[in-house]
Chains A and B, each alone.
Chain A
Amino acid sequence: AQSVTQLDSQVPVFEEAPVELRCNYSSSVSVYLFWYVQYPNQGLQLLLKYLSGSTLVESINGFEAEFNKSQTSFHLRKPSVHISDTAEYFCAVTANSGYSTLTFGKGTMLLVSP
C-alpha cells in the first residue's frame, strides 16, 4: 500500500514570488507520481506526472516537480506564480505495475495575492 503526505494545507504567497508545495510518499514498491490541480469551482485535472526517466518533470504552465527516490519526495515548484495559479493542488501515488488505485494527499491550497 502507498501513502502520501502533503505537509502544508495552505500556502499563501504574493504574485511573482517563488513557491514550493511539498509532497512525500511511502511505498514498498516502485511508483508513479502525479500532481493534480483543482481551480475554484472546477474539476480535478492532471498538472504533471513522473513515470520513468528524467526525475525532473515540467508542466505547460511553468510548474516543475522533481522525483527524489532517496527522500521519497515529489515537491512541486514554480519560480514565479500568477494570480491565476490560485487553486488546490493534490499529490498522488500509484504502484508502477499492473492496474493499481491512486492514493491522494490531503491537498495544499495555494493562495496567490497581488
Chain B
Amino acid sequence: DVKVTQSSRYLVKRTGEKVFLECVQDMDHENMFWYRQDPGLGLRLIYFSYDVKMKEKGDIPEGYSVSREKKERFSLILESASTNQTSMYLCATIQGSSYNEQFFGPGTRLTVL
C-alpha cells in the first residue's frame, strides 16, 4: 500500500521558532510538493522538488525553505514561524507514471502562537 507520511498531524509552535515539517514517501518518485491549505483559498504551492538536491519555488515561497537530501524525504522549514503561517500543510508526490496525478499525505495542522 503506497504511502505518504507526515511527521505530525498537529503541531503547536511559538512565534520566532524554527519549525521542521517532514514528509516521507515510498512511491520512489522524483517529484515531491509542499502546499498550504487555508479556508477559502484552496491549496497553494509553496515549494516543489524534481530530484534530490533540487528545489523550485512555488506560488508562495516567502518565509519558507525546503530540504531534499534523499529521494524519499522532503522537508519544509519555517525559519522563523509567524502567526500568519498557521495553516494546514500538505505534502504530495506523483503516483507512479500517472500523468501528474498527485498523491497526498494526511497533512499537518500547524498553529503558531
Contact = CB atoms under 8 A, between A and B. Distances in A.
Interface of A: 6, 9, 32, 34, 36, 42-46, 49, 51, 90, 94, 96, 99-102, 104-107
Contacts of B42: 6, 90, 104-107
B90 A96 contact: no
A105 B90 CA distance: 15
A34 B101 contact: yes
A44 B31 contact: no
Contacts, number: 52
Interface hub of A45, A49, A106 (most chain B Cβ within 10 A): A106
A44 B50 CA distance: 21
Given A36-B104, A46-B103, A102-B45, 16 more contacts: A32-B99, A34-B101, A42-B106, A43-B106, A43-B107, A44-B104, A44-B107, A49-B101, A51-B99, A90-B42, A96-B99, A102-B33, A104-B35, A104-B42, A106-B40, A107-B40
B27 to A, nearest CB: 14
A62 B100 CA distance: 24
Contacts of B58: 101
Contact of B100 (A9, A100, A105): A100
29 contacts: A6-B42, A9-B40, A32-B100, A32-B101, A36-B104, A43-B104, A43-B105, A43-B107, A44-B43, A45-B104, A46-B101, A46-B103, A49-B101, A90-B42, A94-B99, A94-B100, A99-B31, A99-B100, A101-B33, A101-B45, A101-B48, A101-B58, A101-B100, A102-B33, A104-B44, A106-B40, A106-B42, A107-B40, A107-B42
Interface centre among B100, B101, B106 (most CB of A within 10 A): B100
Which 10 pairs, one residue from A and one from B, show the smallest C-beta to C-beta distance?
A: A106-B42, A104-B43, A44-B104, A43-B106, A94-B100, A104-B42, A107-B42, A43-B104, A51-B99, A32-B99
Contacts of A9: 40
Nearest to A95: B100
